Amino acid sequence: MATSLSTDLRQRLISAVESGQSCRAAAKRFGVAASTAIKWVSRWRSEGHAVSRPRGGDRHSHRMEALAEEILGLVEQTPDITLAEIAAHLEAVHGGKIAPSSVWRLLDRHDMTFKKTDARQRAATARRSAAAT
């Protein structure tokens, strides 16, 4: 993954634009895309700085964590509830689209794993049953 361009380059480009050069001309001069220069200058004008934003990381789990108590309560009430059923319940109550995989990641973060027991295993095939005897 590529790294962010330096703050020094951003400052030099912004200084060039502030001294009268167009964003497109400054972008060509400093070897960046015109859209990049426009975004940097716009951010500098609106926020007062040109520091790059943090890259990567999880930006969405906080939405599921806000529903954690409700989800864990559903699992406690109905131990054999499926991920799809939990997602459907959340969509009905809170609206929006919630993927079962998001529910799974929340349960995994809270150490809620479900192992199949012998009673829940599928019946063995006839070939495996015959080989075992």
Residue 130 is predicted with a pLDDT of 59
| Residues in Cβ contact with 132 at an 8 Å cutoff, skipping those fewer than 6 apart | 124
Mark 72-85 as b/e (b = at least 16 C-beta within 10 Å): eebbeeeeeeebee
Q: pLDDT tens digits, residue range 28-59?
A: 999 999 999 999 999 999 999 989 888 887 77
Q: What percent of the chain has pLDDT over 90?
A: 62
The model's confidence at residue 132, banded by pLDDT at 50, 70 and 90, is low
| Domain locations along the chain | 4-47, 61-110
What does the pLDDT average to over 95-102? 90
Per-residue pLDDT at 4 exceeds 70: yes
